[in-house]
Structure 1
Amino acid sequence: MNTEELVAHFRAGKSVTPGTAEYEALLRCSHEAMRITAELNTAYRSPERIRELMSQLTGTPLDAGFALFPPFYSDFGKNIRIGKNVFINACCCFQDQGGITIGDGSLIGHRVVLATINHGFLPEERSSCRPAPIVIGRNVWIGSGVIVLPGISIGDNAIVAAGAVVTRDVAADSVVAGTPARFIRSITGMTAQEKQACTA
C-alpha cells in the first residue's frame, strides 16, 4: 500500500490494525515523519527552509505566509492541510492520521496537541488505530497548552483559551475554556484586554 492509498483509507474513517498492509504503510510514513522532524528540530532553520521541510512532511506546498517556530512533532504528517497565513508556535504535537485541516489566518499557540487517533476500549482492540478528523476554521486562535480530541470541528474566528481540553465542537465566533472546554461567551464586543486574558 502506498502513502496516497493509506491517506485515503484514513479519510474514509477506516481503522488500522497491526499485521496488515495498512499498518506497514503507517510505520513507513511514521519513520519518514521522524526523519523530517528531526531535521526540522535539531538546528536553526530559516523560515524558507522550515516551509520546505513542512511541505515535505505534509506532501503539499505551503503558502509563503505560513510560519512555524520549531520544535514541531508529527508521527505521520501526510494528512495535514494548512491554509494561508497560518502561524504555529513552538512544541506543538500533531497526530494527524485521521486528518488535520487548519483554515486561513489561524494561530496555534505553544504546546498545542491535535490528536486524531483513538483506540479500542477492550484490551484486545487497544492497538488498533481509529481515525477521526480535526477541522479548524479560518482565523481561529488556539491558546497555549490546548488539547483537541479526535473528530472535533472549531468554527471560524473562535478562540480556545489556554489549557483547554476540547471534547466537542466549538461554534464559530465563540470563546471556550476549561476542561472539558465549555462556551464562555461570543467574541462580539470583547475588548482586546479580555481576549488577551483568554489566550495568553
Structure 2
Amino acid sequence: MTDDRYLRIHDPELLANGERVLGPEFRAMHERVLRVTELTSRLNVLPFDDEAGKAALFEQILGRPLPAGVTIYPPFYTDHGLRLELAERVFVNQGCTFLDHAGIRLGRGVMVGPRATFVTTGHPVDPEERRHYLTGAPIDVGENAWIGAGATILPGVSIGRDAVVAAGAVVADDVPPASLVAGPKATVLRRW
C-alpha cells in the first residue's frame, strides 16, 4: 500500500470520509487523547454545582464554549472533543461517551440518555490489518432526536429529525426521521 492511501491524522476531512490512519500518525491522536483524558478526569470530579469550573473545562475539551442552553451532566467522556458539534438546547445525561475523532454532530434539541455511546472510528475486520490503521466515519443526529439510555451509535450513522433510538439499541444503519428503532443488531455475518 502506498502512503497516499492513508490519512494524515491532522486532516479530519479525510477521516470523516472513511479514510485510514497509519501507525506514525497515531502520535498526534495519542497526544490529544491523553490531554482530553486529563481534562475529562478533572471535569468528572468537580462538585456538581461548580458551573464555572465545568464551563471552563468544557471550553478546553471542545475548543469553544458550550452553545446556549446545552446541558451535559458528568461524568462525560470523549477521546478528542474538538470534533464534537453540539447545537443549542442539546441535553446529555450522565456517563455518556463520545469517540468523536471522525466527527459527531448533535442537532438542536437532541436528548441523550445516560450511558449512551457514540463511536466514529473502528478497526478493520481482517486480523492482519487490525493493528495497522483505523477507519472512521462521522455521526449525524438530526434536530429533536432522542437517544435512549445505553444506546450505541456506530460510525457513519445518520439519525433523522424527531427519531427515537430505544434504550440499549445498537445502531449500525441510518435511522429515518420521525421513527423508532430498537433492539440489538449483532448477528454472525461471516467467519474466518
TM-score (norm 1): 0.82
Q: Which residue of 2 aligns with 1:63?
A: 67
Match of 1:28 among 31, 35, 42: 31
Q: Which residue of 2 aligns with 1:98?
A: 102
Going by fraction, where is helix more abundant, 1 or 2? 1
After TM superposition, what 4+ stretches of structure 1 lie above 6 angstroms from structure 2?
Answer: none
TM-score (norm 2): 0.85
Q: Is the 8 A contact 2:17 2:137 kept in 1?
A: no
Q: How many residues align?
A: 177
CA distance in 1, matches of 2:60, 2:11: 17
Structure 2 unmatched runs, 5+ = 1-8, 187-192
Q: Which residue of 2 aligns with 1:189?
A: none
Q: Secondary structure at the match of 2:22?
A: coil
- Pick closer, same or farther for the CA change 1:48–1:87 going to 2, 3 Å: farther
Q: Secondary structure at the match of 2:98?
A: strand
Q: What is the one-letter code of the residue matched to 2:34?
A: H
Per the TM alignment, residue 9 of structure 1 is displaced from its structure 2 partner at its CA by: 4.0
Q: What is the one-letter code of the residue matched to 1:35?
A: E
84-93 vs 54-63, greater mean Cα deviation: 54-63
Q: Which residue of 1 aligns with 2:190?
A: none
- Pick closer, same or farther for the CA change 1:151–1:166 going to 2, 3 Å: same
Partner deviation per Cα, 1:125-148 (whole Å, 9 max, x = no partner) = 112111111100111111101001
Aligned alpha-carbon RMSD (Å): 1.9
Per the TM alignment, residue 122 of structure 1 is displaced from its structure 2 partner at its CA by: 1.8
4-13 vs 98-107, greater mean Cα deviation: 4-13
Q: Which residue of 1 aligns with 2:10?
A: 5
Per the TM alignment, residue 47 of structure 1 is displaced from its structure 2 partner at its CA by: 3.2
Per the TM alignment, residue 12 of structure 1 is displaced from its structure 2 partner at its CA by: 4.3
Map 1:105-124 onto structure 2 (within 5 A). 105-124=109-128
- Pick closer, same or farther for the CA change 1:48–1:85 going to 2, 3 Å: farther
